[in-house]
């Protein structure tokens, strides 16, 4: 692991809530609103209207006032904003096209700092509400992505206070990209920040020494000035990544998991369809929201 010093305060000015109007996406909206209120951010509520089918004889697109899909989406988006009491500082966006392309366009146009989306389990494999764009969003988005999985309880009230934040790391550049967000959120909430390293393939006779060394390395990631506002813990466990993260999160009733993810190695996104990457498993099975930051 490398020592990284970070006293950078994370600011959220523009939050994108992506929805397909499913129950899983609706469950994510209160979390988006709570964070936006905490940081004084604007909420962009966005929906991607399915692309029009390819026709052998191209037709002119329907005008907005005569497009049934757009009119229905406008109504549902407005109803969602009203029921959720988003407030004045929000904007509703509708674009037609592939979900990922729509999200990318909105992120660039509106300087989005955070994407919030719901997830739903599907035969044990989590897929974002955007279907096959599952990992593509959090592995290719330039901003962090907060996912609310199917096992996350509904947020009660308008306030989401974080008491325990879990930051798992393997010391890689990708995992450490999430550390500034973990530190900043811990400071903002005066939360306990749990640093976790998992070492699954260490022979039993070497574990004591390796555990001590790994714990000291984790300590080096904590800026000295952070002791004034954060109560850190440094844990080393000998488990596989997804299982270890999920087990500790459940044991400690963690409110948020903050973790780095690697960018897709394929421009075509084919590599993002691998179903059992451990990040996907954590997102699918966690009982708390998961904030992923692309490294």
CATH architecture designation of domain 14-148: 3-Layer(aba) Sandwich (3.40)
Q: Once rounded to an integer, what is the mean pLDDT over residues 20-24?
A: 86
Nearest to 167 by CA among 189, 188, 183, 147: 183
Q: Is the pLDDT of residue 181 over 90?
A: yes
- The band of 218, judged by pLDDT with boundaries at 50, 70 and 90, is very high
CA-based end-to-end distance of the chain: 15
- What is the structure's pLDDT at 269? 42
**For range 249-266, the mean pLDDT:** 87
Q: Look up the CATH superfamily of 164-294.
A: HUPs (3.40.50.620)
Please give the helix or strand (H or E) that residue 94 lies within, else none. Answer: strand 90-96
Q: Facing residues of 231 across strands? A: 192
- In the chain, the percentage of residues whose pLDDT exceeds 70 is 81
| Sequence spans of domains, the chain | 14-148, 164-294
Q: How many CB atoms lie within 10 A of CB 2?
A: 10
Could you check whether 14-148 and 164-294 share the same CATH topology? yes
What average pLDDT does this structure show over 268-273? Answer: 39
pLDDT in tens, 74-115: 999 988 888 777 766 789 999 999 888 899 999 999 999 999
What's the chain's length in residues? 295
Predicted confidence (pLDDT) at residue 16 exceeds the cutoff of 60: yes
Q: Give residue 254's pLDDT.
A: 98
Residues 6+ apart with CB under 8 A from 52: 61, 96
User: What phi, psi does 78 have (nearest 5°)?
Assistant: -65, -40
Rounded to whole angstroms, the Cα distance separating 278 from 282 reads 6
């Amino acid at each position: 692991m490398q020592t990284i010093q970070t006293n950078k305060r994370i600011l959220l000015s523009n939050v994108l809530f992506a929805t397909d109007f499913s129950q899983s996406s609706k469950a994510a909206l209160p979390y988006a609103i709570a964070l936006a209120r905490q940081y004084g951010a604007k909420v962009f509520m966005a929906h991607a209207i399915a692309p029009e089918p390819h026709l052998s004889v191209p037709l002119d697109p329907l005008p907005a006032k005569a497009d049934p899909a757009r009119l229905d989406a406008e109504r549902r988006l407005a109803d969602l904003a009203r029921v959720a009491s988003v407030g004045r500082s929000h904007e509703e966006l509708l674009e037609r096209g592939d979900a990922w392309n729509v999200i990318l366009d909105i992120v660039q146009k509106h300087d989005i700092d955070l994407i919030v989306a719901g997830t739903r389990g599907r035969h044990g494999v989590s897929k974002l509400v955007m279907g096959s764009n599952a990992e593509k969003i959090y592995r290719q988005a330039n901003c962090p992505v907060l996912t609310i999985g199917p096992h996350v309880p509904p947020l009660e009230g308008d306030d989401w206070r974080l008491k325990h934040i879990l930051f798992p790391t393997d010391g890689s550049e990708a995992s450490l990209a999430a550390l500034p967000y973990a530190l900043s959120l811990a400071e903002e909430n005066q939360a306990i920040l749990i640093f976790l390293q998992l070492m699954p393939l260490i022979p039993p006779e070497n574990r004591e020494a390796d555990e001590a060394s790994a714990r000291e390395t984790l300590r080096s990631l904590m800026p000295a000035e952070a002791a004034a506002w954060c109560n850190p813990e440094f844990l080393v466990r000998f488990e596989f990544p997804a299982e270890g993260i999920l087990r500790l999160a459940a044991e400690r009733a963690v409110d948020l998991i903050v973790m780095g993810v690697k960018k897709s190695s394929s421009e075509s996104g084919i590599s993002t369809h691998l179903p059992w990457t451990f990040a996907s498993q954590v997102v699918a099975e966690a009982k708390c929201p998961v904030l992923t930051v692309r490294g």
